[in-house]
Amino acid sequence: MDFVMNAGWIESTALAMVRIVSFLVVAPPFSFQAFPIRIKGMLAVALAIVVAPRVAANGPALDTAEFIGALVAQILVGGTLGFLVYAAFAMVQSAGGLIDLFAGFTLAEAFDPGSQVVGAQFTRLMQMIALCLLFVSGGYALILGGLFRTFDALPVTGGWNVAAPMPELLGVAGQILLSAVQIAGPLLLVLFLADVGLGLLTRVAPALNAFSLGFPLKILVTLALAGIVLVGLPSIVASIVDTALNQMQAVL
């Protein structure tokens, strides 16, 4: 019995797997250390087999130089797409960081080795809630679906203009800061007014030493009004998924 192997199919599937691996290494939540490397590799192989009918053409096999060039291109494409997803979810993390900063929680900052996040209570809490909502709402399936659609926009054996995603990447930093302020805005405004009130009270009654009550008061206000931000997280996560998908399409 003779077995015929299609070298073009194997190479296309392997290149698709490289793009998926590069994406999973950067994009949350797959990039977290809580996901073992072997699980990421097995997931990438499974997704590559699923997407193989879409990417595997019956064309001729690539030569060595073409295959290496396509391999490097897939690493860059997957890493860029994963970074855009990471940047979208960094909005929630940055919003939690602003709340910790204004509320005085930054003294309890620590490193979370599982999610590789440095932050205090609200930074990690908001990120964990956002990721839970991502899985509960099925947003992760939309992100993976968006990744699969990139194989139609940019075949694994096609070229890619590296300068194309630069305008999108340059606007990411400003977008993260603006979105973080919008998410945490109501609570930040209340904390700012609390600081102003304490300052006025100190001017009126200096002997009262109102700033000694500053930390307990701001912590109480933060815990009492944190629900305002948390209630809006489901719609925020939905908007983040849409933003990530739009950015992934824009760079291709």
pLDDT tens profile 47-71: 888 887 777 655 556 677 777 888 8
Confidence of residue 164 (pLDDT cuts 50, 70, 90): low
Instruction: Give one DSSP letter per residue of 168-226, joined into a string.
Output: HHHTHHHHHHHHHHHHHHHHHHHHHHHHHHHHHHHHH-GGG-GGGGHHHHHHHHHHHHH
> pLDDT tens-digit profile of 186-240?
777 877 887 777 777 777 776 666 667 777 777 787 777 777 777 777 787 888 7
The model's pTM: 0.78
Whether the ω angle into residue 234 lies within 30 degrees of 0, i.e. cis, is no
